[in-house]
Structure 1
Amino acid sequence: MTIQIRRRPLVAALLAAPAVARAQSYPARPIQLIVSGPAGGTTDYTARLIATPLSERLGVPVVVENRPGGNGTVAVMPVVRARPDGHTLLLAYCANLTGRPAIEPNIGYDPRRDLAPIALLIEAPQVMMIHPSIPSNTMAEFIEYARQRPGRLNYASSGNGSMQHLGTELLKKRTGIDMVHVPYRGTGETMNDVLAGRIQFYMTTPPPALPFVRDGKLKALAMASSERHPAMPEVPTVAEAGLADFSAEAWFSLMGTAGTPPAVVSRLTQECQSILQQEAIRQRAIQAGAFARYEDPERLANRIDRELTGWTQLAREQNLTVD
């Protein structure tokens, strides 16, 4: 009996040794950072914002690889299937984790089961805009205008399950208005139709909208967030415009493969936190129309669970499906 008691700690230590060694030697090679959006988008911008300082802090290259397509699955699945050692990471748009899975339960992955949260990096508020042909200057006026024209106004999004899609559907539910969803694949194509008046309502992050709002080619009604944006300080929040407890912010996070050693996740989390505290990084985020917003793995996991639950309920109530 005495012999057994003495051996158990030794056996446990031997079993744990490989995991400890892997964590202590991390990273052992370049890190592949897979991005779920095309070059030039906010997801890509976030990846490149974090990649260089993360590479410097870890001492190995962080190679950004854009894999757009499949509504995020083209980027997510390689991370889900990767060896859980922290050398294959995902720069995820929130719709990859909470939006698309809400309307397509059989998407092929479960973000809560198959991915390891590492850190929230960026939040990007969205500005709600209308074409100037609409005779409304406030959110309240537009809601009344839309109520009188059920099914006659179009709204755009970057695809089914995007925050633009779900955010506008939430607006419809909260206000009782009825608009037709027109999904697009890229911001450029969308903006062309919005500016031409074929789309009457659109929400997106401030950078692509700002010059057109300043030129009077679009009218900004509200920011779908809890605070005004420094690039558009004259635009009220949705709460100030009369819609309390409404938010449809886009956010971007760093994710790993489920089963990644806690020590590796902790190392990456700490490095991300330090990077996001740098004033230069925070200013670059603001210039891109976003805010540096760090959250640790536990808070990020809670955010994913909360939003996925909420968007799934909205999808059922609004009968949202993959077109």
Structure 2
Amino acid sequence: MTAFRPGRRAALALAAALPLPALAQAFPDRPLRLVIPWPPGGTNDIVGRLIAEGMGQRLGQSVVIENRGGAGGALGAEVVAKATPDGYTLLLGGSGSLTINQLVRRRLPYDPATAFAPIGMVGSGANVIIVHPSVQATTLRELQAVAKAANPPLNYASPGVGSTGHAAGALITQVLGVEMEHVPYRGTGPAMNDVVAGRIQVFTNALAPMQPQIQAGTVRALAIAGPRRNAAIPNLPTTGEAGFPDIQAATWYAILTTGGTPPDRVQRLFEALTGAINDPGIRGRLEAGGLDVEPSESPAAFARFVAEDAARWAPVVQRAGVSVE
């Protein structure tokens, strides 16, 4: 029979004296990664890097950014959906990569209902409708007239097929009763570059990546597609004020992790996220970019929001005829 050594007895006694949580490995005990399902340069990238910095400080670990663009955000989302469900892989999700994608794509490489564990909302911002200065329009009503007379048709950009920008652009053409050609890009940054260069006439997206170009006069803002004006650009009228209240399109941003992640880890991540977006410095930078900061009350509350958002967009997407094989 094996001798029971005193050192072993002491170790067992110490373990018995410790509470159960102390025996479990602390989370997180290594760096995390945040997958941003869009290329660098757009609002998703701006928001994601701010949140990664803030969460990392509160988790005591670095949060490494991984840009994985393509398929309207589905490629990056797939990375998170198929990761180990341990809370170390996060997703910067949004209205495009989550809500719109599942409505317009017939096939996704994951089940949106179970692939992700919702953590919490960061915020949202109504989309701004802009045109290149060569377009002879300063209002939506004038854009409608120009688009009706255009031959060939005007074109509009989106950050990708199945993105919020894609659905919003289709909605604009529907409400204005005009024909415009959709030109998809692999993210906001590349699309914005072509708008500035004059290769694209119309674009609608969140304010942050557009704001410097609007201020510089290289693009012209016509309206904001929300119920109220934005404090970051207060002179810009809403689509309702411009006479088209049915054009409503907002982009929201949130953090999720892999479905099946233990609830205690989801809660830990939620607390870090909430602390980050309530930090005055981070909150101020988000708001300066045109975002309405809207922290969730809980992961469960955020999950309900996602379901309600899908129900709201479904008839819009159907009417606009946006579909991807």
Same fold by TM-score greater than 0.5? yes
Corresponding position: 1:279 with 2:280:
yes
Matched-pair contact (CA < 8 Å) for 1:151–1:178: no
- Which residue identity does 1:202 align to in structure 2? F
* Cα offset, 1:244, TM superposition: 2.6
In the other structure, the counterpart of 2:315 is 313
Matched-pair contact (CA < 8 Å) for 1:112–1:304: no
In structure 2, runs of 5+ residues without a counterpart are: 1-19
Compare 72-81 and 109-118 and name the one that shifted more: 72-81
Cα displacement string for residues 9-51 of structure 1 (whole angstroms, at most 9, x for unaligned residues): xxxxxxxxxx978988322433222221223332222222122
Query: In 2, distance between residues paired with 1:22 and 1:103?
Result: 47
In the other structure, the counterpart of 2:89 is 88
| Aligned CA distance change for structure 1 residues 85 and 219 (closer, same or farther; 3 Å) | same
Matched-pair contact (CA < 8 Å) for 2:39–2:186: no
Q: What is the aligned counterpart of 1:298 among 297, 300, 311?
A: 300
* Cα offset, 1:235, TM superposition: 0.6
* Cα offset, 1:297, TM superposition: 2.2
| Percent identity of equivalent pairs | 37
Query: In 2, distance between residues paired with 1:300 and 1:85?
Result: 20
| Aligned CA distance change for structure 1 residues 30 and 239 (closer, same or farther; 3 Å) | same
Matched-pair contact (CA < 8 Å) for 2:73–2:163: no
* Cα offset, 1:82, TM superposition: 2.3
Cα displacement string for residues 151-202 of structure 1 (whole angstroms, at most 9, x for unaligned residues): 7221111111111111111222333222111112244543343244442211
SS of alignment partner, residue 49 of structure 2: helix
User: What TM-score, normalized to structure 2?
Assistant: 0.82
RMSD: 2.7
| Aligned CA distance change for structure 1 residues 26 and 266 (closer, same or farther; 3 Å) | same
* Cα offset, 1:90, TM superposition: 1.3
Cα displacement string for residues 218-245 of structure 1 (whole angstroms, at most 9, x for unaligned residues): 3211112233233322111222222335
In structure 1, runs of 5+ residues without a counterpart are: 1-18
Compare 144-153 and 118-127 and name the one that shifted more: 144-153
In the other structure, the counterpart of 2:192 is 191
- Which residue identity does 2:55 align to in structure 1? L
Matches of residues 1-323 of structure 1 in structure 2 within 5 Å?
A: 25-149=26-150, 152-244=153-245, 246-295=247-296, 296-322=298-324
Cα displacement string for residues 84-119 of structure 1 (whole angstroms, at most 9, x for unaligned residues): 221222122331101222111311122222111101
Matched-pair contact (CA < 8 Å) for 1:36–1:93: no
Query: In 1, distance between residues paired with 2:133 and 2:230?
Result: 21
In the other structure, the counterpart of 2:17 is none
| Aligned CA distance change for structure 1 residues 256 and 214 (closer, same or farther; 3 Å) | closer
